[in-house]
Amino acid sequence: MSRSAEHIAIDIVLLPSNEVSNTAIMLNKKLVEQHGSTIVLGREMTVPHVSMLMGGLTIGQIPAMEREIRHILSNFTAFEIQIRSLVYKNGISSFEIDQTETLLSLHTELATHLENHLSFNLTESSLYGNPKESSSAINWINSFITKNSFSNFWPHITLGHGQVQFEDLPLCFEANTVAVYHLGTHCTCQKKLFSIKLV
């Protein structure tokens, strides 16, 4: 199979502001130091993000996917996102995002229009760097439409393994950048494929 025909796992995400990203990275550092979190956030790879839609596509499909997303985003402008709470679920700390009408509408438009353009039968070889023992990540991606979309959509920013305290809430930021990343282990955003500004 040619490289252009290989499926890769992708995440369509909203990127937080630099301030919120720095806060997420700071809290993640505490989780790494205190709890040995194997999710290690950074500014270039494994970046903090809000997942909107996951799935798979071939490298050759990336230009068409970018055109589709740009068309969907033409109906949206930058909007405010608020983080009201820090939650601890299944051994992972996350910033929980207020699910506003605009945020849910963007997720719904992306999922509705792009579902048929994505594949949901990926294997671990679809992940960035071909990590081993990543079956949980693959299961999450493959079931994103059926288990994590529409009425089950849960917008959040993953901080890492373990429990951490943070009192300086709420946090707000302007959602003005949608990006598509090649996903790695733990569904982390590893390699940026392209990004689009909301105006």
pLDDT for 133:
61
Domain span holding position 21: 3-197
Predicted confidence at residue 131, as pLDDT, reads 77
Q: Do 98 and 87 touch, CB atoms closer than 8 A?
A: no
Give the DSSP H or E segment for 131. none
pLDDT in tens, the chain (199 residues): 444 458 999 999 999 999 999 999 999 999 999 999 999 999 999 999 999 999 999 999 999 999 999 999 999 999 999 999 999 999 999 999 999 999 999 999 999 999 999 999 999 999 998 777 678 899 999 999 999 999 999 999 999 999 999 999 999 999 999 999 999 999 999 999 999 999 8
As to burial, measured by CB atoms within 10 angstroms (0-12 exposed, 13-18 middle, 19+ buried), residue 5 is: exposed
Question: Could you tell me the two tokens for 117?
Answer: 């353009």
Give the C-alpha distances (Å, rounded to integers) separating 78 from 14, 73, 74, 185: 11, 10, 11, 30
| The total number of structural domains that make up the chain | 1
Assign residue 79 the CATH number of its domain. Answer: 3.90.1140.10
